[in-house]
Chains A and B, each alone.
Chain A
Amino acid sequence: MKPKVAFFDFTSCEGCQLTVVDSLQTHLDLLDAVEIVQFREAISERGEDYAVAFVEGSITRESDQARLKQIREQAAILVALGACAHIGGVNAIKNLAPLDDVRQYVYGDKHTWYATYATRPISAVVPVDAFIPGCPIDREEFIRVVKAVLLGKKPPIPDYPMCVECKLKENICVFHKGGFCLGPVTRAGCGAICPTYGDGCEGCRGAISNPNRDSMKNVLAEHGLTTEGVLARMTMFNAYEVTKT
């Protein structure tokens, strides 16, 4: 029997689910291997008997917790899909300012109508079995993780800095071209896509397990980034992790 799979979303742009739809078009064998019972962005069925749940989005309201916990109870395997679910993502930038200020900025005089709280990744609410990093996710990595989950293997998510992949691609270092990059502390797996196309890494895949953040700050500053610039770059996707400690 094929494993039943469902997709869910919380606070997000749903771009990772769009990438899933995109990757399914080129990996039809995956559609043969699983049965998708719920996927709001792609099908109208709403089956509740899933074994594997993919969750996109961060948790930004207390009222979202119950739904996530219910998904966790049903799913044998829960996978965080993309930066928002994995590390909080750009939604967590709001954690840098007092919550009341943020809510007033967004909702104006109606801010009391909307109960939100500090943004968090789904792992801050329920245990997560696997994660697929990135903003958006890498379609090939998605396929690799699904394969691993179906085969009962540990998903092959790298835990080393992006510099490895960047060097393997023989890119000229972004710093040597006068730019700024979070590659030395950011989890590889994207094939160093941003430096390959001329941009510095913004850290969307989250930090490696053992990041040298002090050294990262020093290097960014030595290359001319202001203190505000350093903070802005290091908290663009990783504000949850950086403000947590």
Chain B
Amino acid sequence: MSLKIINKEDLLPFVSNMLREYEVLGPVANDTGFKFAALTDAAQVRLDYNTTILPPRKALLPTQETLFTFRTDMPSVTPAFDMRWRVLFGVHTCDLHAMRMLDEVFARGNPDAHYMKRRATTAIVSVECLEACDEHSFCKSMNTLTATSGFDLHLIGLGDFYAVDVGTTAGDALLENHCKSHEATRPELVLLDKTMSAKWAKFPSRLSLEGKDLPALMGISYKSPVWEEIGVRCFGCGACNIVCPTCYCFDVRDEVSLDGKTGERSRIWDSCQLDEFARVGTGENFRKTHAQRLRHRFMRKGKYIAEAYPGQQGCVGCGRCARACLVDITPVGVWNALHKAHAM
């Protein structure tokens, strides 16, 4: 839409002003790392964070969420909706691409009312990464190193000030009402250009092929011995799924009161790496082995999502699953091994 400039010292007042009206979730210190959490004070925001354990998708699809409550004595169902207005602040572009994918998944077909309501009451302020977060990320290979949509406001740090890409009218209003800003001047635009051009060289590609070629690679990799090789060491612990910004599978559970008269239905995050995920009522398990489950996960990330939702990606190269895996099963390792085996 337009490009504005805010001075660095006006950033905290911006967050403070938003906090007066909205719940603001942003990156904060968490032990030796970082996590997204509801801020109680603007000073908690750490825009210098590298990554978080859980992706910010938890703001749109909570780890546990009540869908509705019910009564059996006077049969009735009451939907539970979270209608708080909130700002998701400081999202990196990898996660932004992931949420753009979730938006499409939950909107298509039979729209998911809970996700849609929460999404409609959430403004996203993202931030451009100017350096790679660590040795695990491969956003450059997945083409998620920057973003031109999916945000309401997008911040690019330029030393003493931030360039602000205004993505929506809601973002425009958020900035106008809560922060001092001015139109970008010619020298500021030149610095922005220079910074954006210079950043590309600072990010390694890490994948031996381009992200857009993954569906083709995965298409010929179903019978690869790689799955058995990594399956031997996999715990099936599900950590890779839980920390993934593009995973969205959930389990649905009912909790009933002791007298059986009232209860609630909720959903919690699930993982295709767990024993119970593909087990059905008769006891049959459609993906019994770790190898089968890993293959399924990598097919989702590299092929199925991209084919089911053209223009979207099942993996955004954030590297969280690689960081979380204790037995070194990583997208870069697996895809490069498959690429090498097929000598594409």
Contact = CB atoms under 8 A, between A and B. Distances in A.
- Interface centre among A168, A172, A185, by most chain B C-beta atoms within 10 angstroms, is A168
Contacts of B54: 167-168, 170
B49 to A, nearest CB: 13
B32 A215 contact: no
Contact of A30 (B239, B243, B258): B258
Contact of A209 (B30, B32, B275): B275
A215 B239 contact: no
A97 interface: no
Contacts of A226: none
B32 A160 contact: no
A212 B275 contact: no
Interface in A147-176: 147, 150-151, 156, 159-161, 163-164, 167-168, 170-173, 175
B216 interface: no
A147 B259 CA distance: 9
Interface in A121-159: 147, 150-151, 156, 159
Contacts, number: 89
A164 B290 contact: no
Nearest to A167: B242
A32 B257 CA distance: 13
A172 B237 contact: no
Interface in B288-341: 290, 324, 326-327
Given A147-B256, A150-B258, A219-B326, A172 B31 contact: yes
Interface string B154-172: 0000000000000000000
Contacts of A230: none
A147 B260 CA distance: 9
Contacts of B35: 170
A160 B270 CA distance: 11
Contact of A160 (B52, B243, B276): B276
Contacts of B271: 160, 164
Interface residues of B, number: 34
A218 interface: yes
Q: Is the interface of B mostly helix, strand, loop or mixed?
A: loop
B121 interface: no
Nearest to B327: A215
Interface residues of A, number: 32
Given A160-B271, A167-B54, A151 B256 contact: yes
A189 interface: no
Interface stretch (B188-196, B204-212, B228-236): B228-236
Closest 5 CB pairs of A and B: A163-B237, A184-B235, A167-B242, A161-B237, A160-B274
Interface of A: 29-30, 32-33, 147, 150-151, 156, 159-161, 163-164, 167-168, 170-173, 175, 177, 183-185, 208-210, 212, 215-216, 218-219
5 contacts: A160-B236, A160-B238, A168-B242, A184-B235, A212-B234
Given A33-B259, A160-B275, A210-B236, 16 more contacts: A29-B259, A32-B258, A33-B258, A147-B258, A151-B260, A160-B236, A160-B276, A161-B236, A161-B238, A163-B235, A168-B269, A177-B32, A210-B275, A212-B233, A212-B235, A216-B235
Interface of B: 30-33, 35, 52-54, 63, 232-239, 242-243, 253, 256-260, 269, 271, 274-276, 290, 324, 326-327
